[in-house]
Structure 1
Amino acid sequence: MYRYLKLFLLGIVTVVLLLACHSNISQNAIQGNNDLSTSPLPVATKLVKHAFGETRIPVKPERIIVLNDIGLLDPVLSLGIKPIGTVSYFPEYDFLFRGVTNDEAAGIEIIGNGNQPNLERVIKLKPDLILMREYQKSLYKELSAIAPTVMVDLPGLNYSFKENLRFIAQVLGESQKAEQVISQYNERVKKLQQLMGDRLKEIEVSVINLFSESIIATYSDNETYNQVFQDVGIRLIPTLANQKEDTLVSSIEVLNKYDADILFVMSDTEELTQAFLKNPLLKTLKAAQNSQVYEVQVNRWWTFGFFGVNKLLDDIFKYLS
């Protein structure tokens, strides 16, 4: 009898304790004091290999900071993803970004300019992924202490704007979207080829960049516009096609070396372009004599992403088709 009474009392105590625990848990949940209610859910991650090693990042990062305009901001936007922060181009120019308009980058916080991101602003934005370029390697350790950081190495990608997009898409889990973007670009190239027809075999083009009224620069086939010319089948003049230097700076006095059927003149400012167009040396070129000199903008032609590349193609359609 005593044994049964003991079991009965033990059962009552157990029920009371369970009810009390349940009450405490419910009350804590209502008051927001439950540890489980404030603990963040585990985030799925993956390991990404890049030039600085391996970094574990979220499978679907939601708060991305990109520390370059042409090589990072443009490609990320091309994938349909809007970063929370980026750096602008150098403030002495009239545009914030190359390849991307201010409207296309609306809502993205500017956290520095050129090669100088503001680390305090980076911290305040609480990123879950930072994308940087190889020339910013001195910041890698500091950036990695803030959030997972991946270095996008353009030399390692052979300076291909397509491979750059593919690498970034792989990091962000958007490889299928990247192929769609590249496919749309290829379709535009085919359309341009059809519109140009036999002219593709007949014309040669040249591109110069104005550094000042007396200094010009030309670039190797690494530059995106030269890659686009190659895709379309537009021929550069031999002087440019055979250039070994990534950047060759010359006096305006050798302008005749860059004469072509069509001359594209790239400049940072309208004032510089207007001064060039008044230069007597320009009148000696066949491109000028045939009214085939075209002013193009740095923020459209100095690009490394598909927002910019499509603007570049718009210009080529306009002037060559």
Structure 2
Amino acid sequence: MLRSFRGFGIMLVVICILLAACSSGTKEETTAGISGTQSEEATSTTKVEPNNSETKVVKDQFGEVTIPAHPQNLVVFDSIYAEYLIEMGVTPQIVLYTPEVEAEYRPAYFKEHGVQTIEVEQYQYNYEQLLALSPDMILTAGEGMEQGVYDELSKIAPTVALDANSEMERAMPKLAAIFDKTEESAKVLAEFEEKAAQAKDKIATALGDKTVLVLRVEHNRYRFMGPKGGSSSVFFYETLGLNSPEAIKDSTDWFSQFSLEFLPELNPDYIFLEDRTLVGYDTKKSMEDLKASQVWANLKAVKNDHVFPLKTSEFVSGVGPIGSVKLMDYVVGKLVP
């Protein structure tokens, strides 16, 4: 009888110990579960991380393309597009650029905004280099791009070839629509237009009906900028309101070739002279021939010392919200006493 009672007592103690252990484990697990839930809630109220798996469909030069809603490694081909994005509040991770033809201010500008710059050869596509960068999206200008090039880029990452050129008023709103920055884009453009209007008024007051020619010196040839040629023509002849020589007032070509014998017919009051910059390009002989010619020496602009140098990079790649203001200040500084 006593032995049975002792055995029952021992069994009762063992059961109590087991129940206590189970109860303790359940409490710890419950506490951990609550703690985890509270931590997740706290995180969600302090910082909302973008869902990197989200996508959206946009239209570009070649049709519709599915892109990440929040790209984490965006590679931009055109440095001017990168400037547009930054000024709208979108910072790309990588920008490709050719140092020889890049606007002087822009490398420091990109460094200031934490954008990695990758040097590339002008007009070349290094697909292996791009693949090594592991982009989750590629952005480039679509006008002038061949379908084959676009197809190769699309194999590396979703590629948006914007149906625009580098012109700010065309490209920026389309970029803004892709990145949901329409309001920011409108603000940047409005600020620029206000500065441009002030510059235009100053020039009109100072020059009246005097004419301005943008002359490009190239290897073995000369070209003039048409006032209705689009791209940079818009900046000089529409945004700043410069008057072109009468003989070319209806030219719709960005740049048209001409012979030196045509210069007296143009005979502008002011000339912005571009020494064309291209990788591996030599314009020395063409420039020497121009300045040694009698027709050049007899031009009004030359006689009055109204010929001003113009860098290719300043008006080809350097016409973003930052660069355009710099170029505008340069033009006003030369034309307005």
Unaligned stretches of 5+ residues in structure 2: 1-18, 37-49, 278-282
Residue 205 of structure 1 pairs with residue 212 of structure 2:
yes
| Aligned twin of 2:177 | 170
Give CA-to-partner distance per residue, 1:211-266, whole Å, 9 cap, x none.
03x51112332344321231232221223321133431223343323321111111
For these two proteins, the number of residue pairs brought into alignment is 286
- Paired with 2:140 and 2:194, the residues of 1 have a C-alpha distance of 30
- Paired with 2:182 and 2:162, the residues of 1 have a C-alpha distance of 16
TM superposition shift of 1:78: 3.7
1:253-264 to 2 correspondences below 5 Å: 253-264=261-272
- Paired with 1:265 and 1:272, the residues of 2 have a C-alpha distance of 15
Give CA-to-partner distance per residue, 1:78-113, whole Å, 9 cap, x none.
434443333323x7xxx3524753322335231632
Q: TM-score, normalised by structure 2?
A: 0.72
- Paired with 1:273 and 1:292, the residues of 2 have a C-alpha distance of 20
Q: Classify 1:145/1:191 alpha carbon distance in 2 versus 1 (closer, same or farther; 3 Å).
A: same
Residue range with higher mean Cα deviation, 258-267 or 304-313:
304-313
SS for the counterpart of 1:103 is helix
CA contact (8 A) 1:99 1:305 kept: no
> Percent identity over the alignment?
21
| Aligned twin of 2:108 | 103
Give CA-to-partner distance per residue, 1:168-217, whole Å, 9 cap, x none.
121122222211221121111122134335335322211111103x5111
Q: TM-score, normalised by structure 1?
A: 0.75
CA contact (8 A) 2:229 2:253 kept: no
| Aligned twin of 2:47 | none
| Aligned twin of 1:154 | 164
CA contact (8 A) 2:229 2:255 kept: no
- Paired with 2:82 and 2:123, the residues of 1 have a C-alpha distance of 14
- Paired with 2:329 and 2:118, the residues of 1 have a C-alpha distance of 28
- Match for 2:88: what amino acid? L
TM superposition shift of 1:42: 4.8
Give the number of the structure whose alpha-carbon radius of gyration is greater.
2
What's the C-alpha RMSD, in Å, of the aligned pairs? 3.4
TM superposition shift of 1:302: 1.8
| Aligned twin of 2:329 | 314
| Aligned twin of 1:50 | 60
CA contact (8 A) 2:77 2:96 kept: yes
Q: Which has the higher contact order (CA 8 A, sep 6+)?
A: 1
Q: Classify 1:86/1:160 alpha carbon distance in 2 versus 1 (closer, same or farther; 3 Å).
A: closer
Unaligned stretches of 5+ residues in structure 1: 1-11, 30-39
- Paired with 1:149 and 1:231, the residues of 2 have a C-alpha distance of 31
